[in-house]
Structure 1
Amino acid sequence: MPPRPLRLASRRWRRPRGPLGGGATGRVGSGLTASVPVAPAAPLAAIDCGTNSIRLLVAQPVVGADGTAGPSRTLSRLMRITRLGQGVDGGGRLAPEAIERTIAVLREYRAEMDRLGVPEGRVRITATSAARDAANRDELLGPAEAVVGARPELLTGDEEGRLSYLGATAELDPADGPFLVVDLGGGSTEFAVGGPDGFAVARSVDIGCVRMTERYFTADPPAPEELHAAITVSTEHINDVVREVPLVLAAKQVIGLAGTVSTVAAVELGLAAYDRDAVHHFTLTRAAVEDVFRTLATESRADRIHNPGLEDARADVIVGGCCVLVAVFRVLGLDELLVSESDILDGLVASQIGDASGPARPGEASGA
């Protein structure tokens, strides 16, 4: 399907509207029977140090009378954009100011965990693409351990994909699978696919909103040739994934994760403020993705920030992320994908308690 001509009208003049197709959120039930609760266990926490944002989930496992774990209850879910991956694609090192921003947020998260009573040994913290690529990663990992009380785990891309798959699919009905989970981050994108018995394989490629922006964009708004270059490179990487893992084409349902996907959904919905319930399990169509992309790509950053649903701190990298997302839809021939706000954090929580029955329940979080 050839791309439509660029449209110059800003989406900020549109009135907020509901999900496409008239549904409220298109949620999918888990089909699981919850255990009869006896008493909540001690809370636990997961922190993901990504290329663009640092996120925290504090959850309280609920244990049933039979000793099995039910879906965890969310106590806090926070996100801060620190741009940890600033300059890593070009220089191969974490910038001192980016490390400082990240450590400052980790101090905030440590205080939140203390407030909620997360005990020692109940925290799992991971570092992903930016830390993987940086020669000076220990300048982050050491101070982070001192603040949080746990050594950050440097995940491979495939490990990151597996955890994202676990978090994104735990509350879905297996009968709707097999699933393909696309985790579009700041420095990399993970493609994790399942089979009849759950997770099967994951592949990570170095395309993300920060990486595409820093590598290809110099003009504001990006020049057509810059957009073309970012989409072309993204397309080549995704084609490599398809060749290596043909199973991705067999997925019955595709789930999209992370900031770019959630932001495109929020802009399409016209959300004046972030609403997890509206974004989670919203069906994002190809037409909507192409439309939002054309709008944001033709606006300067100063104009782009007026679009409802777009955070100011994400405005400079969202077009780079859209280039990757557009390529995902085009290469895989997708008509739609399911947006999920359950992701690697939920997978990290589940991995700590062996709870694959469901991610932390949405709608009970503080923060966004």
Structure 2
Amino acid sequence: MRIGVLDIGSNTGHLLVVDAYRGAPPLPAFTYKEPLRLAEHLDAEGAVDSRGVKALVRFVDEARAVAADKGCSEVIAFATSAVRDAVNADAVLAKVESQTGVRLEVLAGDEEARLTFLAVRRWFGWSSGRLGVFDIGGGSLEIATGRDETPDVCTSLPLGAGRLTRDWFPEGVPTDAEYDALRLFVRQQIAGNVGALRRGGDFDHVVATSKTFRSLARLCGAAPSEAGPYARRALRRDLLGAHLDELRTLSVAEIAERPGVSPTRAHQMVAGAVVADALMDLFDLPELEICPWALREGVLIERHDHM
């Protein structure tokens, strides 16, 4: 069965076409994506502006056509933080549906965390024991932990790399004062949740997902994408700290030249690294293993399980 998963994230619109078989992992067949930067298209009142809405409608319509052309029998379409938090979310969703015929489901933050956790559990299996899962998106940070396929505790914090860049680094390269203020804010936000997430016990296996973590791991020496999904990749705290000290002094163009950093995300790498560094420090984690599966795969797995 060929299924399309249409993910409208805070940074990127992404259609993943997969072939799903009972008793087998979903096999990617085609991908179509575009940087929408919806988290940066929120106006002073918190509404998605007209340019953002226009770009979203166009992309969803194009993705719908691509999914049909690739033979998808079903398209699962959802939106995350940027649409979820927009004060005009209902109007945006109605316009997308009226002009494209696609109805986007808005996932709550804890639902994002739960589905991402499911994907990571399926990838690594039961031998991972008590999992801790971290996902830095464009608009939010999701954290989940547990021993089963459903996490015991999950939370979503407004610490997405795109959101923080827009709110704290308006001129691009942060000043020392801007950087220090963001670092303090991020650590206060995360520290308030450490106790609840650790109450069930220490982690047996700690995992990170998302493009931000993958880019940071590659920047710190992890295997490139050409090595395939089964190559072990990890982000080490000591290496991240060293790179963060340098990243905060570079221009966006200079960051974009670094390995693993795409030009469309280079501007938010410093904010993403600040969040990752705070997580690893406050949870006392020397390393995070990178999982190639995340929210899209979690959505697909749950749909496939219910077929």
Normalised to the residue count of structure 2, the TM-score between the two structures is 0.91
CA distance in 1, matches of 2:232, 2:31: 17
Alignment of 1:170-185 (within 5 A): 170-185=122-137
1:108 maps to 62
Letter in 2 for 1:173: G
2:256 to 302, 305, 329: 305
Structure 1 residues 209-218 or 182-191, which shifts more? 209-218
Structure 1 regions of 5+ residues with no counterpart?
1-41, 64-68, 357-368
Alpha-carbon offset, residue 71 of structure 1: 1.8
Q: SS at the partner of 1:54?
A: strand
Letter in 2 for 1:334: L
Specify whether residues 146 and 258 from structure 1 end up closer, same or farther in structure 2 by C-alpha distance, changes over 3 A only. farther
Alpha-carbon offset, residue 220 of structure 1: 3.8
- Given the alignment of the two structures, is residue 94 of structure 1 paired with residue 36 of structure 2, yes or no? no
1:223 to 148, 172, 175: 175
Specify whether residues 186 and 279 from structure 1 end up closer, same or farther in structure 2 by C-alpha distance, changes over 3 A only. farther
1:117 maps to 71
2:279 maps to 328
CA distance in 2, matches of 1:76, 1:43: 11
Specify whether residues 84 and 220 from structure 1 end up closer, same or farther in structure 2 by C-alpha distance, changes over 3 A only. closer
* Number of matched pairs: 307
2:159 to 201, 207, 215: 207
Structure 1 residues 335-344 or 81-90, which shifts more? 81-90
2:21 maps to 62
Specify whether residues 314 and 196 from structure 1 end up closer, same or farther in structure 2 by C-alpha distance, changes over 3 A only. closer
Letter in 2 for 1:75: A
Alpha-carbon offset, residue 87 of structure 1: 4.4
Alpha-carbon offset, residue 342 of structure 1: 0.6
Letter in 1 for 2:209: L
Alpha-carbon offset, residue 337 of structure 1: 0.4
Higher relative contact order (CA 8 A, sep 6+): 1
CA distance in 1, matches of 2:8, 2:32: 12
1:53 maps to 12
CA distance in 1, matches of 2:44, 2:256: 26
Higher helix share: 2
Q: SS at the partner of 1:269?
A: coil
CA distance in 2, matches of 1:97, 1:205: 26
**1:35-87 alpha-carbon deviations (Å, 9 max, x no partner):** xxxxxxx2112122111112222211223xxxxx3222221234322101114
Q: Is the 8 A contact 1:191 1:204 kept in 2?
A: yes
Question: Percent same amino acid at aligned positions?
Answer: 26
Q: Is the 8 A contact 1:52 1:82 kept in 2?
A: yes
Alpha-carbon offset, residue 326 of structure 1: 1.0
Letter in 1 for 2:145: V
Alpha-carbon offset, residue 303 of structure 1: 2.1
1:85 to 33, 39, 49: 39
Structure 2 regions of 5+ residues with no counterpart?
none
Structure of greater Rg: 1
CA distance in 2, matches of 1:288, 1:137: 40
Structure 1 residues 253-262 or 106-115, which shifts more? 106-115
Q: Is the 8 A contact 1:192 1:202 kept in 2?
A: yes
Alpha-carbon offset, residue 261 of structure 1: 0.6
Q: Is the 8 A contact 1:106 1:147 kept in 2?
A: no
Q: Is the 8 A contact 1:184 1:208 kept in 2?
A: yes
1:142 maps to 94
Alpha-carbon offset, residue 343 of structure 1: 0.5
Q: Is the 8 A contact 2:134 2:141 kept in 1?
A: yes
CA distance in 2, matches of 1:172, 1:280: 13
Normalised to the residue count of structure 1, the TM-score between the two structures is 0.77
Structure 1 residues 89-98 or 130-139, which shifts more? 89-98
Q: Is the 8 A contact 1:183 1:191 kept in 2?
A: yes
1:8 maps to none
2:303 maps to 352
**1:316-358 alpha-carbon deviations (Å, 9 max, x no partner):** 11111111111111111110001122101001111111079xx
